[in-house]
């Protein structure tokens, strides 16, 4: 059994999210997704997610390609999460290229190309610009 792990906020779910999750799942047998807590997302992105962590968990957990979800509380616990879930491969989008090379002491790391032209930030901006 090969366990794959990935991490992210996955707020305002979009096609770039499903693309990376499906591609990550194709590298092994089980896909485990660490979903950034609301506080961790705030510390990374300087705004709170639109969808709260329990809703984001529920959405990701409902996907066919996902086997397990958990809340990632602290970036510093990355290695502990990887060990806890027996993951042998960490998959991230290439916006993070190089950032997780330090976990290579416990598992392999690959960065997959992001889906072009879509992000949660851009969706929020576009919706905010819509005429009322
Ligand atoms: N991702 C992707 N392609 C996109 C957007 C995101 O492959 N177009 C990947 C990211 O690389 C990451 C995962 O999806 O591995 C979760 O990213 P997240 O930060 O939650 O999504 P974004 O849309 O990038 O959010 P934001 O705009 O708030 O940064």
pLDDT class of 132 with cuts at 50, 70, 90 = confident
pLDDT in tens, 6-33: 999 999 999 999 999 999 999 999 999 9
Where do the domains of the chain lie, and which CATH numbers do they carry? 3-129 (3.40.50.620)
pLDDT digits (tens, 9 = 90+) for 27-77: 999 999 999 999 999 999 999 999 999 999 999 999 999 999 999 999 999
Q: Which residues contact 13 (CB under 8 A, 6 or more apart)?
A: 51, 56, 59, 60
Give the per-residue pLDDT at 52. Answer: 98
Position in ligand 1 atom list of the atom nearest CA 116: 8
Question: Do 109 and 100 meet the contact criterion of CB atoms below 8 Å apart?
Answer: yes
Q: Scan for tokens 């998959």, then name that residue.
A: 91
From 16, 33, 91, 92, mutation site for ligand 1 pocket: most ligand atoms within 8 A of C-beta: 16
Active site residue 44: yes
**What element of type H or E holds 94?**
none
CA distance 40 to 75: 8
For residue 60, give Cα distances in angstroms to 6, 15, 30, 31, 50: 12, 12, 14, 11, 15
Spot the catalytic one: 44, 58, 83, 104.
44
Q: Ligand 1: which of 5, 6, 9, 122 to mutate, judged by most atoms within 8 Å of the beta carbon?
A: 9
- Say how far apart CA 64 and CA 59 lie, in whole Å: 11
Question: Is 90 exceeded by the pLDDT of residue 86?
Answer: yes
Strand runs (DSSP E) across the chain, as ranges?
A: 3-8, 30-36, 68-72, 87-93, 108-112
**Between vectors from CA 28 to CA 22 and to CA 32, what angle results, nearest 5°?**
65
| Index of the ligand 1 atom closest to the CA of residue 20 | 7
Q: What is the DSSP letter of 2?
A: -
29 Cα: distance to centroid of ligand 1 (angstroms):
23
Q: List 7's β-bridge partners, or say none.
A: 34
């Amino acid at each position: 059994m090969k366990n794959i792990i990935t991490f992210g906020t996955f707020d305002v779910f979009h096609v770039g999210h499903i693309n990376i999750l499906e591609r990550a799942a194709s590298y092994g047998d089980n896909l485990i997704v660490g979903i950034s807590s609301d506080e961790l997302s705030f510390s990374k992105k300087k705004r709170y997610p639109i969808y709260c962590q329990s809703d984001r968990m529920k959405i990701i957990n409902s996907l066919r390609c996902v086997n397990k979800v958990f809340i990632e509380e602290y970036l510093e616990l990355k290695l502990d999460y990887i060990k806890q879930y027996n993951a042998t491969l960490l998959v991230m989008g290439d916006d993070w290229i190089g950032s997780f090379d330090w976990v290579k002491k416990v598992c392999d790391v690959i960065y997959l190309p992001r889906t072009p032209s879509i992000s949660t930030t851009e969706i929020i901006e576009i919706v905010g610009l819509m005429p009322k």
